[in-house]
């Protein structure tokens, strides 16, 4: 196999090293799946925090863009719209078609997004504030973002969780195999270092 790959270069020592490498790979590929299956539960308990799923929020928003006119009170415009929306249920259910707000650069509805996801579109302050809002049919805000102001209606929120092993089994197994492979590779390299003497040119 090493010769087929054209890696022997006619040198006996190199050929022997390649044979050892191929034998190591073959042994590793055969052994690691068995080890991973046996160790998975214990390994997951040790690394549970790495699989923590962040808190998520689902919400819709109406955007009020910051205007070039320094005298324009965008926040007041958003506050007036909030009062109108919450005082008339028929308008509140479909604020976007009531002529309120401006077109937003990204999305109107965000479903099951983490704080990091939201911060990427709105900025850190907005992302932090939206998680403080209550799940409510009423509109809330206005919240400031790096784009302007937003009226927000929160549809759902979920807390951060550490999932059960059964829910992330494939990812855990993949990560464990990588860890075992790297450990075996380092162990193999250490055995070779002990077996050979390295001589440096003066």
CATH architecture of 56-158: Roll (3.10)
**Residue among 99, 71, 73, 74 nearest 84 (CA):** 99
Give start-end residues of each CATH 3.10.50.40 domain in the chain: 56-158
Q: Is the whole-model pTM more than 0.75?
A: no
SS3 10: coil
Q: How would residue 97 be classed by pLDDT, with cut points 50, 70 and 90?
A: very low
With beta carbons less than 8 A apart as the criterion, state whether 172 and 40 touch.
yes
Burial tier of 87 (Cβ tally within 10 Å: 0-12, 13-18, 19+): exposed
**Per-residue pLDDT tens digits for 98-148:** 678 999 999 999 999 999 999 999 999 999 999 999 998 899 999 999 999
- 44-60 in b/e burial notation, b at 16+ Cβ within 10 A? beeeeeebeeeebbbbb
Q: How would residue 201 be classed by pLDDT, with cut points 50, 70 and 90?
A: low
């Amino acid at each position: 196999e090493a010769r087929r790959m054209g890696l022997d270069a006619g040198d006996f020592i190199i050929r022997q090293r390649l044979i050892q490498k191929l034998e190591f790979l073959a042994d590793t590929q055969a052994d690691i799946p068995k080890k991973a299956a046996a160790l998975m539960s214990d390994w997951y308990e040790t690394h549970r925090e790495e699989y923590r799923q962040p808190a998520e929020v689902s919400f819709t928003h109406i955007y009020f863009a910051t205007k070039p006119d320094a005298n324009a009170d965008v926040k007041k415009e958003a506050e007036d719209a909030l009062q109108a929306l919450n005082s008339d249920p028929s308008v509140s259910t479909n604020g976007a078609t009531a002529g309120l707000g401006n077109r937003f650069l990204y999305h109107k509805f965000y479903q099951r997004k983490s704080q990091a996801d939201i911060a990427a579109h709105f900025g850190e302050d907005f992302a932090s504030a939206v998680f403080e809002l209550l799940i409510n049919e009423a509109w809330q805000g206005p919240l400031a973002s790096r784009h302007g102001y937003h009226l927000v209606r929160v549809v759902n929120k979920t807390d951060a969780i550490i999932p059960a092993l059964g829910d992330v089994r494939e990812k855990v197994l993949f990560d464990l195999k990588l860890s075992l492979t790297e450990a075996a590779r380092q162990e193999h390299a250490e055995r070779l270092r002990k077996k050979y003497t390295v001589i440096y040119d003066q």
